[in-house]
Amino acid sequence: DGLDFLTDCDPDRVLPCHGSIARAACEDCGAAVDFDTYCGLVQTQIKDIYGVDNAAPEASSPIVCTACGSPAVKPTTVLFGANLPAAFFHSLHDDLPTADLVIVAGTSLVVSPANLVAKLAACPAVVVNREPVGEDLGLSFHGKDTFVQGDADDVFSLVLRDLGWLDDIADPDDLP
């Protein structure tokens, strides 16, 4: 959802397994595109289907990669049926075995391979969701794992409050 970019988290410690709307790259060669540059290209090359931007072009034209010439530049989101980024699988192999805790929030845990994070974690998992999920993957809510029922926003707001961190969180009205 891109909210990780509004924090002080080191981007190398955040792995959006389904990509990010806040980064752009060529889907063919993988060359990264500066995000501000990409946004400018969207404004000048992509039709405004909602009719909000009078300066938008009447018709869309592809955004061409400056590295390979392919018309395949888009946000780095992973579309249905596409492979997850290689970094996901590297992290699953290299980082997950050393994790102390896995937090899973707002998911059905039905779609593989993303659900492997919860399934393969040797450490405890905390699952925050509206309904229980993951027991069919081997999560044990009567053992090492914990299920917290509720909306993720509500649950994590309570955690922040209980930790005394609410004052450290920006007012949502102040966010860009």
What phi and psi values does residue 94 have, to the nearest 5 degrees?
A: -90, -40
On whether the CB atoms of residues 71 and 63 are closer than 8 A, the answer is yes
Rounded Cα gap, residues 112 and 114, in angstroms: 5
First CA to last CA distance, the chain: 14
Pairing of strands 146-149, 24-26: unpaired
List, in sequence order, the alpha helices (H) in the chain. 35-45, 86-94, 116-120, 152-163
Active site residue 93: no
Rounded Cα gap, residues 73 and 169, in angstroms: 34
What phi and psi values does residue 3 have, to the nearest 5 degrees?
A: -65, -25
| Residues assigned a catalytic role | 18
